[in-house]
Amino acid sequence: MMTHDLDWEQRLLEDDGLVAGLADEAAAAVKQWCLEQIRIARDGALPTVSDDFVDTLVEQVRVVTDVVDALERHGPSRWMANRLSRVVTDGERALRVLAEPRPIADRLRDVLSGLRPVRH
């Protein structure tokens, strides 16, 4: 494992803005999912994960976590689905999943697994 990869993993673990407003269980699930994506990318074709890859991944995840925070405060709305459509194929479906009566960590993992692929 490259030192730079460890730096990205540490940065994600310490990035409270990535999970601002989320319950502890949900925040832990988001960070774990992100770390898994970095490890998958690193174990793939690239010997190291690029800064652009991680920046884009974090940007996409922030869209989802921002919507979750707003959803918990205001309930679902059209702008949330539109915002989610920037990072997933079907924003309306993603919003329905996030609004389901299941544990938030499970709902987040389901939506995050549908993010558009990040190019290396």
Domain boundaries, the chain: 3-112
Whether the predicted pLDDT of 48 surpasses 80: no
Per the CB < 8 A criterion, the answer to whether 48 and 42 are in contact is yes
Whether the predicted pLDDT of 38 surpasses 80: yes
Instruction: Describe the chain by its helix, strand, coil percentages, rounded to 5.
Output: 70, 0, 30
Confidence of residue 6 (pLDDT cuts 50, 70, 90): low
* pLDDT more than 90, % of the chain: 45
